[in-house]
Amino acid sequence: MSVQPVSGGVAERPSPTGLADVIDTILDKGMVIDAYVRVSLVGIELLTIDARIVVASVDTYLRFAEAVNRLDLAESGQGLPEIMQNMTQGASAHKTKGVVQGVLEAAEEKLHDLGGEREREPSRRRRRGEED
Amino acid sequence: MSRTSAERGPASTPQDDHGSGFYIYGLVPADVEVTPDAHGVGGETFPVTLIRHREIAALVSEIDLNRPLGTPDNLVAHERLLNESAAEVPVLPMRFGAVMTDADAIIDELLTPYHDEFLEALGELEGRTEFVVRGRYPEKQVLQEVLDEEPEARRLRDEIRALPEEVTRDARIRLGELVNQAITARREADTEALVDELAPYSVAAAVREPTHERDAANVAVLVENERRADLERAVDEFAKRNAGRIEVRLLGPLAPYDFVMAPQEGEGAWD
């Protein structure tokens, strides 16, 4: 395999305020005010976005199987891209790097879409309802 | 009730106003100030202010109760305000969505009864911030590794390829499950290795739940400000050693979302 690390083995230091990271942190972590306050708590309508992805589910399994299948097709293809890679070493390394980045960016986009989706469908769940 | 030193924020409203409340971002020591550029979930309309009581203060902004909360802008504003504050002063961050009726209620029900606990927790956080280290396995790489190591995965792949899609659902689920198991085992080992490597430079560590099926690690650490460079070096070492198999990102400094206290637990989670 010739997959190169995006950052050449040095940890990336992106802005900590990317939406995906924010969702994971502030909807799930931090002090829960309900634990302290009862009387004057205001239950405001929250447009919630479920930060958690259920990792072990049939959907996950099918997605993995699909990805294995894609991987396999790409390998057995032996088509033009492979030949070109052999011809131009430098360019192929660069190309692979682009692919990895593309995958990560696609995942981010998906989350942004999810955010937009949920925004159009406000749910009345309060924070506490999300905890379990 | 000792309210002599209590100070109402400029955004304080009459109590009969049911259209607005106070959004609470977190708690800070009373001797801090809000910089003019601070923005919260209310943008320019509702400035961020402090409601002080003795030695602690709630970081708040007024909020229109008729408008739902939770847009991407709201989420980012909450996190950014807390992270920027945490870079300067100790902060106990609230989970997103904490709203109370008015300034009096915040003093009477939150700041007064828990004053000493909050103050002690803020003292523990002095000079410390949180960092999150995230690792992810690149898809092609990790799947290829699993295929290379697991004969059963290769057998299932071949079976799936040889048969029409409508009869391979069970085989695909089994293959996916195998892949998931293999990745889970890797994640546990890599997370443990990461936590061990960061331990000398962190006050405490909290392993977060994975948020992606290819997560290699999702670990929060509480770090003394003067150990920050050491931590970054350790994370880079980890990234270097795992180059090609784990993409590593370091997020921070963040407010200590993963190291806040819970009531009746005394000292807090980092002890």
Interface of B with A in 154-173 (CB under 8 A): 157, 160-161, 171-173
Is B238 an interface residue toward A (CB < 8 Å)? yes
If you count residue pairs, one on A and one on B, with CB atoms under 8 Å apart, how many are there? 255
Give mean pLDDT, residues A17-27.
77
Give mean pLDDT, residues A66-80.
66
Chain A positions in Cβ-Cβ contact with residue B143 (cut-off 8 Å): 64, 67-68, 71
Model ipTM value: 0.79
What is the rounded distance in angstroms from the CA atom of residue A76 to the CA atom of residue A62?
Answer: 21
Test mutation, A42, A114, A128, chain B, max B CBs within 10 A: A42
Is B143 an interface residue toward A (CB < 8 Å)? yes
Q: What is the pLDDT of residues B146-198, one digit of tens each?
A: 999 999 999 999 999 999 999 999 999 999 999 999 999 999 999 999 999 99
Range scoring the smallest mean pLDDT among A36-40, B14-18, B120-124 = B14-18
Which among A3, A21, A35 has the least Cβ separation from residue B140? A3
> What percentage of residues in chain B have a pLDDT greater than 90?
81
Which among A7, A25, A62 has the least Cβ separation from residue B176? A62
| H or E segment and range at residue B27 | strand B20-29
Is residue B27 a contact partner of residue B122, using CB atoms and an 8 Å limit? Answer: yes
Report pLDDT for A129: 37
Q: What is the pLDDT of residues B67-83, one digit of tens each?
A: 888 888 899 999 999 99
Please give, rounded to a whole number of angstroms, the shortest distance from the CA of A56 to a CA of chain B. 7
- How crowded is residue B263: how many other Cβ atoms within 10 Å of its Cβ? 12
> Does the domain made of B129-259 have the CATH classification 3.30.70?
yes
Which among A5, A10, A126 has the least Cβ separation from residue B244? A5
Report pLDDT for A73: 64
Range scoring the smallest mean pLDDT among B2-11, B37-46, B47-56 = B2-11
Report pLDDT for A130: 39
pLDDT higher at A6 or A75 = A75
Query: pLDDT class for B211, splitting at 50, 70, 90?
Result: confident
Would you list the domain boundaries of chain B? Answer: 20-126, 129-259
Q: Which pair of structure tokens corresponds to residue A96? A: 């692979």
Query: pLDDT class for A109, splitting at 50, 70, 90?
Result: very low
Is A62 an interface residue toward B (CB < 8 Å)? yes
Residue A3 and residue B263: Cβ atoms within 8 Å? no
pLDDT higher at A7 or B132 = B132
Is B63 an interface residue toward A (CB < 8 Å)? yes
Residue B240 and residue A9: Cβ atoms within 8 Å? yes
Query: pLDDT class for A49, splitting at 50, 70, 90?
Result: low
Q: Which residues pair with B251 in a beta bridge?
A: B132
Would you say residue A105 has pLDDT above 80? no
Q: Which pair of structure tokens corresponds to residue B142? A: 């990790």
Query: pLDDT class for B264, splitting at 50, 70, 90?
Result: low
Query: pLDDT class for B247, splitting at 50, 70, 90?
Result: very high
**B185, B242, B243, B175: which is closest to B210 by C-alpha?**
B185
Average pLDDT, chain B: 90
Would you say residue A4 has pLDDT above 80? no
